[in-house]
Structure 1
């Protein structure tokens, strides 16, 4: 009762006042949601940017390979993301297999999507005799685009909000589960800024201004380390998933934080060992060799 009264009296911005709607287009018989558009926009813009990267000397694959990669990566994102969500966040869904197929019921796991995309890259590289780690480097530069759109969609949906706070930029999200509406950290925007904009800027700088792309594994290592640190940090300001509150209390960390630890370790290893993998790069799409 006290929290409800305080929430009503606070001067904080209310989510309801922003006029946001999870549905971008409603035709009655068909609804197009912003979350779906985030996936579509992230894939299309990422595809365009990947082609820009492949236009530079020393590219690890040709455009025809990139077109195939988009298909495999999309499958990896959807299948891996959904399976990862069920395994790590909602294992009870295994009791109702048909519910797993209802992608609109529940959510997606980024960590699962990473695994799915990596398997797609491995298949493409093996099938075409390409260097899988260098392809990973180029894809890593593209992923933050999708992360940015995805986190913005989380905000538009009014989901995955942060913990109660009194910072001036706090937002009051409708909380029908707890029955109270305290002002909260807009953690979705924190993640959009760190995992999306900041990580994209760092990887772009390394790709365009340094020789990082000629050291296999360095760019994907920076991505893994950067994403892992950003996600681990923001989770301190974010509420754990409702079904994993007890897990967070028992372990001291959120599930998302535990899942980032292998990413951080793997990223550090790839960065430190990248120089040892540097070799003469014979480009697939360009006309000159790069030492």
Structure 2
């Protein structure tokens, strides 16, 4: 390979930001937080469109977000601290840093689990059936995750193994040394891989939902299968130290992905046999679902998001 070509490929690598925090007067503006917030906003907007297309009422998703988002943030942090407790507890560590969410560290499994609890509470209060609203929300979580992963780029964290591929990620010398590598080492940009995978998975799940008119939680099951299929192989590229990192030769999160994929696939197969089609009502009082002003069951085509 000629020196000119090597230099050209090196110029194509992905640089990391010089800083992940900016100050607006005394107020710190953190890239990690901005990525998370933007992902949430986009997901809520898309979920609202999908929910209305399924026969829900405008404003329902914002009301559910008041419950789901705080629960999800707490769950994500609890999962991260529980699976990486050595960073925060024990000799030489300050337990109070477990509360420093802005430094990074939100476990997706905990965020989804407790976020779903929040949605369940909100749905019960509003008289909304749980499975239809989960089917409306689930694909948009992929978009939120795709955007939120850029927070790892700002924080220069959770990158993959060393590589010299043209799209390799550059990190600061101190970050490379901290990871046990020489300055100038470039790495797999796993944040980018997951972002692209999630966006492709979103398009696939929405397309299948439109084509097959899925209901009764099957869209949510597809979300789990699509996400875990990507998370499994991307997790194998990562080199960050986590507790429970080697269970039977696989990282803990890889096992989690495998188990959840199997459970979601089993539920999808069961629900397809037991409940083909979609719900005729998304409300617990049995009101007929109305999509775009047309009663459910009419031969209408949903919009691009549903």
**Alpha-carbon deviations, 1:156-209, whole Å to 9, x = none?**
3221111012333223323131251322111111111112x1111112212333
* Superposed displacement of residue 228, structure 1: 0.7
2:286 equivalent in structure 1: none
Aligned 1:268-279 pairs, distance under 5 A: 268-275=265-272, 276-278=274-276
* Superposed displacement of residue 110, structure 1: 0.5
Q: Does the 8 Å contact 2:72/2:116 carry over to 1?
A: no
The alignment partner of 2:80 has SS state of helix
* Separation (CA, whole Å) in 2 of partners of 1:202 and 1:150: 20
1:35 equivalent in structure 2: 32
- Match for residue 79 of structure 1 among 71, 74, 89: 74
* Separation (CA, whole Å) in 2 of partners of 1:114 and 1:15: 33
Q: Does the 8 Å contact 1:164/1:185 carry over to 2?
A: yes
For normalisation by structure 2, the TM-score amounts to: 0.80
Unaligned stretches of 5+ in structure 1?
A: 1-8
Aligned 1:117-266 pairs, distance under 5 A: 117-174=115-172, 175-177=176-178, 178=180, 180-181=182-183, 182-195=185-198, 197-212=199-214, 215-239=215-239, 241-244=240-243, 247-249=244-246, 251-266=248-263
Q: Does the 8 Å contact 1:12/1:171 carry over to 2?
A: no
Aligned 1:92-131 pairs, distance under 5 A: 93=88, 98-105=96-103, 107-131=105-129
Q: Does the 8 Å contact 2:38/2:147 carry over to 1?
A: yes
Which runs of 4 or more aligned residues in structure 1 lie more than 4 Å from their structure 2 counterparts after TM superposition?
13-20, 94-97
1:267 aligns with 2:264: yes
Which segment drifts farther, 119-128 or 138-147? 119-128
* Superposed displacement of residue 127, structure 1: 2.4
* Separation (CA, whole Å) in 1 of partners of 2:34 and 2:205: 24
Count of aligned pairs: 274
Point out the structure with the larger helix share: 1
- CA 1:180/1:114 → structure 2, altered by over 3 Å: closer, same or farther? same
- CA 1:26/1:14 → structure 2, altered by over 3 Å: closer, same or farther? farther
1:88 aligns with 2:87: no
1:290 equivalent in structure 2: 297
* Separation (CA, whole Å) in 2 of partners of 1:250 and 1:264: 18
Q: Does the 8 Å contact 1:280/1:290 carry over to 2?
A: no
For normalisation by structure 1, the TM-score amounts to: 0.83
The alignment partner of 1:26 has SS state of strand
* Superposed displacement of residue 126, structure 1: 2.5
Q: Does the 8 Å contact 1:79/1:113 carry over to 2?
A: yes
* Separation (CA, whole Å) in 2 of partners of 1:253 and 1:186: 20
* Separation (CA, whole Å) in 2 of partners of 1:86 and 1:280: 39
* Superposed displacement of residue 20, structure 1: 4.8
Q: Does the 8 Å contact 1:76/1:120 carry over to 2?
A: yes
**Alpha-carbon deviations, 1:77-121, whole Å to 9, x = none?**
210100111112226646665333222345110110010111012
- CA 1:189/1:105 → structure 2, altered by over 3 Å: closer, same or farther? closer
Tell me how large the CA RMSD over aligned residues is: 2.7
* Separation (CA, whole Å) in 2 of partners of 1:17 and 1:124: 42
* Separation (CA, whole Å) in 2 of partners of 1:17 and 1:233: 23
Unaligned stretches of 5+ in structure 2?
A: 1-6, 284-288, 299-306
* Superposed displacement of residue 225, structure 1: 0.6
